[in-house]
A and B are shown apart, each in its own frame.
Chain A
Amino acid sequence: MICLGIEGTAHTISIGIVEKVNNRCNILANISKMYKPEKGGIHPREAANHHVKFFPKVLRESIEKSEVNINDIDLVSFSIGPGLGPCLRTAATAARTLALSLKKPIVGVNHCIAHLEIGRALTKCEDPVLLYVSGGNTQVIAFMEGKYRVFGETLDIGIGNCLDKFGREIGLPFPSGPHIEKLAKKGKKYISLPYSVKGMDVAFSGILTACLHLLKKEKIEDICYSLQETCFCMLAEVAERAMAHTEKEEILLGGGVACNKRLQEIIRKMANERKAKFYCPPNEYLVDNGAMIAWTGLLMHESGIRMKLEETKVRQNYRTDEVEIKWR
């Protein structure tokens, strides 16, 4: 079975084409185009316009790359939520159009779960705790009693959003994470910041405010260093707590912020200390990508999940634990 998946929850429009061979995920194509605002953060409508503009090109390139005939595609999947309304609707419209014109079934995929499933497919982990860290989302997810449950999450903004907002204030381009990572490497002095872990949840807005207050007093490299160390250790702590609670021995990373090498190092150390296994897919599949939507759509379809066209309405606030998991 070959599935074409469309990702479009936020800044990235991406198409992945995957097939299942010997029960393994084989990615035939994964083509992405990311919207980068000239200044400021993501403007949802601008991002959606970007997706409309680039969709035909991304589609053409992905078909070419995969070397499949478009009529050989068996299933169309798309990111149904959570995400920014205008972006979601754009991807959904594209998916419906494609499914109708190809006369193939359509299925809507939960974006957060797709991050987890592609991680499971591309690494050797089986039943991990996922630390999912991106611009809008920060969640600790694990499978229990028939569902992917959220054991911890941010109480205010996503970790990526925290980094981007700080970056914007100091004049870094979007996304700011990679630039902050570079600056942090030159930082030497740890400046004390609020450390906000509540049970298995985290909060970042207080840290962001504290960092902004430091701008006049401290070196920018030291602030970036302290910001990263504080936020990433909070994430390691809640991830560890979730592992202890669920008695799982694998930790998997997902989301764009997981490209950060220092975060990877911290989580790897945490895993080693408790003799657990650490898994991290390649960067291309950490950030938003169509392949994860295609792969999860394929799993859903194979497990018997079907959606009528009327059921493909987007869900901006779609929660991870709402999804019925029939394929595990």
Chain B
Amino acid sequence: MEIIKRGAEAIIYLATWKGRKVAIKKRIKKGYRIKELDEKTREQRTKREALLMMAARKAGVSIPIIYDLRLNEKEIVMQYIDGYRLKDIIDEKNEEWQKKICNQIGKNIANLHKNGIIHGDITTSNMIYKNGRIYFIDFGLGMKSEEIEDRGVDLHLLMEAFKAAHRNKNLFSWVIETYEENFEEAEEVIKKIDEIARRGRYMRRIS
């Protein structure tokens, strides 16, 4: 199996499952954790991620379809989206395309937040573009929450990601445009983003 990505917590493999091309996300063992705790943590995280993905799908957000959940192996077998990482292509596109995509992202985030889902790591690295559609991936840091703070942190990270990695300064405002249109509590969340930004502590290098 080919490794697509190696993260701090999990490895993503490219594989075949019943004739389909799939991505397998496997949470890896941590030697520093005692066995009981390691098993429990990896199992709970795997389960939680799968549940969040399914909830996101139900909320109308495009995600890879889950084919199999292997809790003993701490693996999620999911559809392989054969597209482009948004991070790699967005800068080359024209403004019209960028606006359309950002509007789509805003609506998607509104749908997540409306349904009590926090993605936890919304960056352009965690969005795949294929045939005009944006797929959200990696719900590994996600959680269920309806707190304004959590929603604010979620959006703030995207703002930082745009700032750090992309040239067009309007991208985030296009996301906010449709986020507002599609979510009644948007105003409160947007206010919160400023507050979070002022704290200046969620800054990180976006890869």
Binds B, one of A9-17, A168-176, A203-211, A244-252: A244-252
Say yes or no for A303: interface residue by CB 8 A criterion. no
Interface Cβ pair total, 8 Å cutoff: 66
Cβ-defined contact, A192 with B32, below 8 A? no
Cβ-defined contact, B205 with A192, below 8 A? no
Cβ-defined contact, A199 with B37, below 8 A? no
Cβ-defined contact, A145 with B37, below 8 A? no
Which residues of chain B are near A269, meaning CB under 8 Å? 31-32
Interface residues of B in 1-47 (CB under 8 A from A): 7-9, 30-34, 36-37, 40-41, 44
A150 CA to B36 CA in the complex, in Å? 30
Say yes or no for B120: interface residue by CB 8 A criterion. yes
Which residues of chain A are near B30, meaning CB under 8 Å? 233, 236-237, 270, 273
Cβ-defined contact, B205 with A247, below 8 A? yes
Say yes or no for B167: interface residue by CB 8 A criterion. no
Say yes or no for A315: interface residue by CB 8 A criterion. no
Interface of A (DSSP majority class): helix
A312 to chain B, nearest CB (A): 24
Knowing A144-B205, A145-B203, the reply to whether A233 touches B37 (Cβ < 8 A) is: yes
Say yes or no for B169: interface residue by CB 8 A criterion. no
A274 CA to B28 CA in the complex, in Å? 12
The residue from B9, B36, B201, B204 contacting A190, defined by CB atoms under 8 A apart: B36
Q: Give how many B residues have a beta carbon under 8 Å from the other chain's beta carbons.
A: 23
Interface residues of A in 223-255 (CB under 8 A from B): 229-230, 233, 236-237, 240-241, 243-247
A243 CA to B9 CA in the complex, in Å? 12
Say yes or no for B200: interface residue by CB 8 A criterion. yes
Say yes or no for A179: interface residue by CB 8 A criterion. no
Knowing A195-B40, A233-B37, A244-B7, the reply to whether A149 touches B32 (Cβ < 8 A) is: no
Say yes or no for A102: interface residue by CB 8 A criterion. no
Q: Which of B9, B44, B204 has the most CB of A within 10 A?
A: B204
Say yes or no for B141: interface residue by CB 8 A criterion. yes
Range of interface residues on A (Cβ < 8 Å): 20 to 34
Cβ-defined contact, B37 with A270, below 8 A? no
Which residues of chain A are near B9, meaning CB under 8 Å? 241
Which residues of chain A are near B200, meaning CB under 8 Å? 147, 149, 321
Say yes or no for A78: interface residue by CB 8 A criterion. no
The residue from B37, B153, B204 contacting A230, defined by CB atoms under 8 A apart: B37
Cβ-defined contact, B41 with A195, below 8 A? yes
Say yes or no for B65: interface residue by CB 8 A criterion. no
A241 CA to B205 CA in the complex, in Å? 12
Which residues of chain A are near B203, meaning CB under 8 Å? 144-145, 149
Which residues of chain B are near A236, meaning CB under 8 Å? 30, 32-33
Which residues of chain B are near A270, meaning CB under 8 Å? 30, 32
Cβ-defined contact, B32 with A233, below 8 A? yes
A240 CA to B34 CA in the complex, in Å? 17
B124 to chain A, nearest CB (A): 16
A198 CA to B30 CA in the complex, in Å? 18
Cβ-defined contact, B205 with A190, below 8 A? no
A145 CA to B160 CA in the complex, in Å? 14
Give me the 10 closest cross-chain CB pairs, A-B, nearest first.
Answer: A269-B32, A244-B8, A190-B36, A270-B32, A266-B32, A245-B204, A150-B201, A233-B33, A236-B32, A240-B8
- Known A266-B32, A321-B200; 6 more pairs at CB < 8 Å: A144-B205, A150-B201, A229-B33, A236-B30, A246-B205, A269-B32
Residues on A facing B (Cβ under 8 Å) = 144-145, 147, 149-151, 153, 190, 192, 195, 198-199, 229-230, 233, 236-237, 240-241, 243-247, 265-267, 269-270, 273-274, 321
27 A-B Cβ contacts within 8 A?
A144-B203, A144-B205, A149-B203, A150-B201, A151-B201, A153-B201, A190-B37, A192-B36, A192-B40, A195-B37, A195-B41, A195-B44, A199-B141, A199-B153, A233-B32, A233-B37, A236-B33, A237-B30, A240-B8, A241-B8, A244-B8, A245-B207, A246-B204, A265-B32, A270-B32, A273-B32, A321-B201
